[in-house]
Each structure stands twice: as C-alpha cells, then as structure tokens.
Chain A
C-alpha cells in the first residue's frame, strides 16, 4: 500500500512535468486541425512536425484529444463509478447537528450516515476505503449551529475544508407535516461563477470537488442543486422545479432542503487523516490585499 502510494505520487509528479510539453503539442494539433478544417495553409512554424502531428490527430479518440492536467487527476476515473458518500460528524454531536446531517443524507444521493461515537478519524477513513466509498463528509458545529464541512475524496484524493455560514435547515422552517417528503432524484447541478483559470485554478478545482459528489443524473430530472459563487462565498440551494402554467418559458421553483453558504479555507492534497499532506491552497485572510483578491472567480 505504501509502495503503491509512492509510485502513484511519482507518476503524478512525472505527469505534472510533462504537462507543459503536452500542452504545447495540444496547441499545435489544434492549430493544424483548424487549418485543415478551414482549408487554410498550415502555419509555417508547424511545417516540420506537420506530418507526424497529422498522424496523431487521425488516431485520436475522445480521451486523448483533451489535454489532461495534473489537477483533477484524482477525478480522472471518478466518472466511471457512482459516488458513494459517508457522512459523519465531529464527536458528541448536538441534536441540531444530527438533524442537519440527516438532511444532508437525503440531499446527497447515495449517501449513508455514520454515528461518530468515539472512533478515530484514521479508522473511519480506513474502513471507508475498504468499503469502496468515494467520499467522506465531516460536519462540525459550534453551539448547535453547523459551522464546518470537510469533504475528503477517498482513494487518495483532495480534501476540501469549508466554513458553513447562514445555515437554515429544513427543520427550522416548517413542522414535520408541512415539510413533506423530499425528492431523492439524482439532481441536475448548476455551478455559477467558478471561473478562475489563471495561475490559481481554484475555481475549477472546487467545482470538480463538489461536482463529483453527485452522480450522473437523468436528463429529465426535476431536482436542481445550485452552487453559486459570490466573492468567494458559495451559496448552496436545493430546488425542485415544475413547468408553470404560462407556457414553456415559465418555471415554478420550490425550495426544498437546507440552504447554507460555504467558504473554502483550505485544500489539501491528501485524505483527511494525512495531516502531513501537502496543502494545495490555503486562505490568507490577514494579508493586506486580501480584500482585493478573489480566489474562486468572479
């Protein structure tokens, strides 16, 4: 297991190294492809390599056409399996926290809840790995209000630490009778304004982390989960929609499920129990320019 991890890490570093070259080649191929499609002459700088690249273009398939980046290599194979989630809390959870976790259980399809008891985190993650879970989600609280969320992707994937704000649970809103049952369909996902692509990449990264908690939905699914980013605060909303009476353009949205704001403060490149893992990104709120910088995109 250790050696396997060591090997995988070496592979990762190697592939990260190659990325620059790969990107160049990809760019050249793209130019040639464009030139061929439009019927224009191939640019002069590519004339030498043109024949070889042409051959490669012909042999390309869907997987190889897109240049892979080292980021999200952990999620390279994630789409082949359906995600399986394990939900736990911090130790000694209060009643509101357990209720919140119950709600999250329903929100994430294919999730199961685990009572924390007195288990150690490393044990939990070991068992999760052996039972083929893809993600583990920890929720922590402060005096009844849930205030922390940790999403750890399992094989050896990244761990994202979020701060929860403005949490409104379903229990708070209505009595049990009015709540009714929540739809447990696989939802459609909406991600708004996760745009940073430049040197930081955090926008796309967080989007991937959150995306791969959910499975592939059906095309006509009526449930929608929204993550909307506004100056580094991500709003989570859970809606069910119906076509309204006023024709195809009118939609009736009904909000179900809890609503909260997430604020990312750390992304680590290992799982939760590896505290010595490398920190991919950490929030620095006391820097003098902290007000001006936005990490997750506009």
Chain B
C-alpha cells in the first residue's frame, strides 16, 4: 500500500510538473495520470462511506468509465463537504475543535486540495489564457472544451470508435447541458451538479459571465463567419434572456462570489480571478499588451527587408533566398513550349495544308521588256507610191537626214511621240540649268525620222550659281511697256523730261565721262527657272 502510495504520489508530482501542452497530445502521461487518479481515489475513500468502489479500476477501462467511477465517489463527497463548509462559515470556532482530525483531514484535504488546486490551477490558467485571448465567446467556449479535452486526455488515451478529433461525447454532453441551462436558467445546471468538483461553480460562473459576454460580444462576433453557428444560438438566446441569466439570483450570486473569493484565496493564485474583469477591462489589458509589444518593436532595429536599399553586407547571409522577392515584371515571359503548344501548332499547320493556304512569295508579274510585236497588217491594196519613189525616199533618208520627208504612218505613233516629247520636256527641265524650251511647231510637218542623238542640243548640264542674275537685274520695271509709236504727245514729253533730268544728274557727278562701249558688256540673258518638286 505504501509502495502504491509512494508511486501514486510520485505520479501526482509528475503530473504537477508536466507542461500543460503535454496533456493535449496522447502520450505516456496517460499511464501516469491513471496511477495518480488511482492514488487520489484511495485517498478520498475513507471520507466517503457511501462509495461503491474500493479502488479506482483503471485497467482496460476507458475515460468515460473511469470518470463515472470518480463521479460516483465524489458526488456525495461534494455535498458533504459543502455542508461542512457552511457549518464552518456559521461557526468558525468549530474549526479549532476538530483539531487533529482537521490536521489529518487537512493533510488529505491538502492533497485533495492540491489535486483540486492543480485542477484549479490548470483551469485558472486556462481561464486566464481564455481571458487574454481577444476573440469572442467561441474561443472561450473552445478553451473550455479544450480544457475538458485536456482533462480527459490526462486520464485516458484517445477514445476511438465514435470519438475522433472532431467529435467528443463529453463535448456533446456539455453543449447540451449548456443549452438547457440557458433555456431553463442556470440553476438547472447547478442542480445537476456536474462532476467537476468545486470547480464546477467556477465553470458555471465562467459560463454565466461568458453568457453575458456572449450577448455583449454577439454583435462583434457577427463578422466571424466561422462562428455563425454560435451566433445563431446566441441570437436565439437573446430572445430568451432573463434577468437571472445576466445577474443570476441575487443571493446565489453573492454566495458564489464569496465562495469564489475563498477558493481563490485557497488556491493561492496570484491571478486576480481574471474572469471577474469586465469586458472593458479585458480589452484595456489587451490594448496595453499590444501597445507594449509595438513600442518594443519600434525600439528594436528593423528587419532588413524593411530597411530600404539593402546591400549584401547589411543583411544576413543567403537571406535573400528565403524572402519571396516580388516585383512586377513588365515584359511577358518567354513561352514555355509544352506538348499542348506543339500539338496546337501542328493542328494549325495541318489545317493550312488541307486548305492549301500558304503565304509563299508571289512572283511579281514582270514588266514586259519587249513590246508586243506589232501585227503588221499587210495592205492588200496596191502601193500608191511607185518603186522608184520608195528607193528615192530611202536614199534621201540615208544621206541627208534633215530633208527626208515624213515617214509617220500611224496616228497612234504620232500621239505617242507627242506624249514622249512632253515628258522629255519635263525631264530636261529637271536636269538642265540653262533651259530653252523647244518650241513645238505643229504646223510644219517636217519631221525627220532621225536618231535622237543627232538632234539633241548640247547644253551645259551644270553651271555655277554665281554667274546667274536675279530677275530684277535682268529687267527692272513694271510690265506695262509701251512702244514709241503708241505714246501720246504728253507721254513723249514726259519721257524726254525724265531723260534730261537723269542726264543732268549724272553729268553733275561725273563732269568728264568717257564714252562707254556698251557692246563689250556681257549680259547674261537667260530665263530664270525655279524648279518645284
């Protein structure tokens, strides 16, 4: 028994010393937990005469069954303890009377309380954690459920079969009980007396306060889509809210608060009962912690990614590889040639082949280098010229090109030659500085079929600008020129007078004048042609 006791005690100690997160995952701690719970059970047994079990049966039992065993033992224990506490509250003197008993009891009670305290601690820690979280009731409920889960997992490995990570029967029961409590009033829940020991009050209080907060934070939580289910439930609850839900029965509330105070003091917890803080105070706490965090972050040197232009020396080695450097690429990336791309290309090619629609180089229609051979119409009629005349014409053409008679027979040829002459005129205008247009004399039909070179005039192709005269220099005056025969008497007199004035002016400047030889002056006479291109 002593050995068992020792091992149990060690187990308890171990439990106490393990970190809370270990309870969340299935591990060897379950064995330890079982040993501890067995030990506690045997400890409590003497105080509970009505207990049906001699010891806690843990081998081969699942969490539910072990839980039930503990429940059966501790229910009557709880009520008796409550009774005792009430008695002590009324008459504190009795505490001293009990004396040894009390000491002994207190030892075990201490153990119990330690157990309770542990649970309490755990719960309080959880509560505090919950309180600190900034989300709404969902998380607090989750926390609650988590903590239930934790305790379950403390006791037992995961329940396979019905239960998995999404579904726990315990959670379902609690959920249903919560619902009932909210519907019928929280008294109902208390009367039912769930098997959480004294902590149930705490949790009830939690629930009450959470309910209050539920309703308060309901509007805030409407945004959280994930919590929609809960929101609906809360909406329903809002309609059925009663005074008791918010403020509880007045007496009970005070009693409960007293109990809470005692328990907290007993717990020796320095946590200040965080669930007693109002929403506002909780928010304030959150804000403050946030502010502290931000101030601290501001004081620290910034992360290298936030430092503007950072060279390789200023950031840790290979840190650029870890950061997801993202910038907008302006150029489209080159295409990756996949199977599909090739397949689509080939399809397109095949369709083009079938249609025979290619973009080949088209051979341009070449300009006819040779003109069409004139189908010379052979005149059947007798030639009007005699043979001698034909020979005469030929001879004249050969020897003396200028005097040969006209040989054009076709009208078209005439027209063509006229057009060509016009063209040549224009081309000459473009390429000669001295330009003398060849007068096209149409009346005279003397046209000799003579090679063009003989007729062409050799003209100066390029002459310097300097020799040219401006039009004003060639002719100064208006266009109205009158011949001498056209002048009237007055005109003649005017002209003479002008001439005399001029002569006098000149003779005043140069009294002695040599006779100028006007013939030796060379005047450049040439029409001045401006080319517009």
Contact = CB atoms under 8 A, between A and B. Distances in A.
A190 B335 contact: no
A228 interface: yes
| For the complex of A and B, 3 pairs with smallest distance between CB atoms | A285-B331, A79-B364, A188-B358
Interface of A: 14, 61-63, 78-80, 165-166, 188-192, 207, 211-212, 214-217, 224, 226, 228, 230-233, 235, 237, 239, 241, 248-249, 251, 253, 259, 261, 263, 285-288, 290-291
Interface residues of B, number: 26
B476 interface: no
A166 B358 contact: no
B337 interface: yes
A22 to B, nearest CB: 16
7 contacts: A63-B365, A166-B335, A188-B358, A190-B348, A192-B348, A212-B361, A290-B331
A191 B359 contact: yes
B345 A226 contact: yes
A84 to B, nearest CB: 14
B353 A241 contact: yes
Given A63-B364, A191-B359, A226-B345, A261 B354 contact: no
B240 interface: no
Contact of B349 (A190, A249, A290): A190
Contacts of A288: 330
B362 A251 contact: no
Instruction: Name the residue in B330, B361, B364 with the highest tally of chain A Cβ atoms < 10 Å from its Cβ.
Output: B361
A158 B332 CA distance: 26
Given A211-B359, A237-B345, A241-B350, 13 more contacts: A78-B361, A80-B364, A189-B360, A211-B361, A214-B360, A216-B363, A230-B335, A235-B335, A235-B337, A253-B346, A253-B350, A288-B330, A290-B330
B366 interface: yes
B270 interface: no
A104 B114 CA distance: 90
B360 A217 contact: yes
Contacts of A216: 360-363
Nearest to B350: A251
B378 interface: no
B308 interface: no
Contacts of B346: 239, 253
B483 to A, nearest CB: 43
Interface string B337-356: 10000000110111011100
Given A224-B349, A251-B350, A232 B361 contact: no
Contacts of A61: 365
Contacts of A232: 332
Contacts of B52: none
Nearest to B330: A290
A215 B350 CA distance: 22
Given A166-B337, A190-B358, A190-B359, A226 B331 contact: no
A244 B224 CA distance: 64
B331 A261 contact: no
Given A166-B334, A290-B331, A291-B331, A224 B353 contact: yes
B334 A286 contact: no
A216 B359 CA distance: 10
Nearest to B365: A62
B429 to A, nearest CB: 17
A59 to B, nearest CB: 12
B332 A231 contact: yes
A207 B360 CA distance: 11
Interface string B357-387: 0111111111100000000000000000000
A71 B76 CA distance: 106
Nearest to A289: B330
Given A237-B345, A251-B354, A189 B330 contact: no
Contacts of A217: 360
